[in-house]
Amino acid sequence: MRLDYRLRVLLLAALGFASPVAGQDHPVLVELFTSQGCAACPPADQLLETLADREDVIALALHVDYWDYIGWADSFGQSQFSKRQKDYARIKGRASVYTPQMIVGGIDEVKGSSQVQVMGTIATHLGMRFAPNGVHLNLSRGAGGEIRIEAVAEKGLAYAADVQLVRYRDSETVEILAGENSGRTVTYRNIVTSWNQIDIWDGAEPYRATVQLEGDDAAVIVIQQQGQGPILAAARQR
């Protein structure tokens, strides 16, 4: 049985949860697929830097590894990020991928170096962030460094959602010695180091979980419709 949203809030309060409405304010998730070996990527990396510290945006750099063969192996590149980008392309009916590419909200794809397109797409998502799916997510930090996750789906979920834990490094400067960007020194921001599914949520009842963290990397919880669909909610602990 699905509970009315107001009853859910009361239930959360009775369980000692914070009100989801008082939680983090629905930031927009932006994924930049980039590579140290891509000559077209530095402008997109700079654009992501302007987004990195915004509170209304969670901007993440996912370094792919499929350009490593052209002369420079990306020191942050991971095959799982290449696969994530290829899965987005497959969902949209495309057989190829490119860098730099940004995916906004798990839905819209834009050229990662186009400031006008990127900012316009983010603004559109921010304009509809309060109501479109009714999923409210709140994170709190425990005394032992763990993250407590609290989520409620105002009207339930049409499809099950993946609950994902993302870790990222704030900043690192790389001197690139070969490949298309040979001779450049680039400072990268919000470098994703891992992206893992930790649970599946059907939205019928409020979701509560605790995740133990290791290391100093910042953490993001992403709730995404299964099948790499729309981002329903995202929140961060730095």
Report the percent of the chain where pLDDT is more than 90: 82
Give which of 101, 111, 98, 94 is closest to 31, Cα–Cα: 101
CATH of the domain at 161: 3.40.30.10
**How many domains does the chain divide into?**
1
Average pLDDT over residues 208-219: 94
Q: Omega into 20 within 30° of 0, i.e. cis?
A: no
Q: For the residues 111-139, what does the mean pLDDT come to?
A: 87
Please list the alpha-helical segments (H only) found in the chain.
Answer: 5-14, 42-51, 79-91, 115-127
Q: Identify the pLDDT of residue 128.
A: 73
pLDDT digits (tens, 9 = 90+) for 27-58: 999 999 999 999 999 999 999 999 999 999 99
What is the rounded distance in angstroms from the CA atom of residue 55 to the CA atom of residue 27? Answer: 7
Q: What is the pLDDT of residue 4?
A: 41
Query: What are the tens digits of pLDDT across the range 56-91?
Result: 999 999 999 999 999 999 999 999 999 999 999 999
Question: Which residue range forms the structural domain that includes residue 96?
Answer: 5-237
Cβ–Cβ < 8 Å for 122, 57: yes
Sheet holding 135-141, edge to edge: 135-141, 147-153, 207-211
- Of residues 172 and 133, which shows the higher confidence score? 172
Euclidean distance between CA atoms 44 and 74, whole angstroms: 16
Whether the per-residue pLDDT at 158 is higher than 50: the answer is yes
Cβ-proximal residues to 111 (8 Å cutoff; 6+ apart), any chain: 44, 100, 101, 102, 117, 118
Percent of the chain with pLDDT over 70: 87
CA pair distance 219, 226, nearest whole angstrom: 21
Q: What is the pTM of this model?
A: 0.87
Q: Is the pLDDT of residue 106 over 90?
A: yes
Strands 57-63 and 28-34: parallel
**Residue 25 confidence (pLDDT) above 50:** yes
pLDDT at res. 132: 52
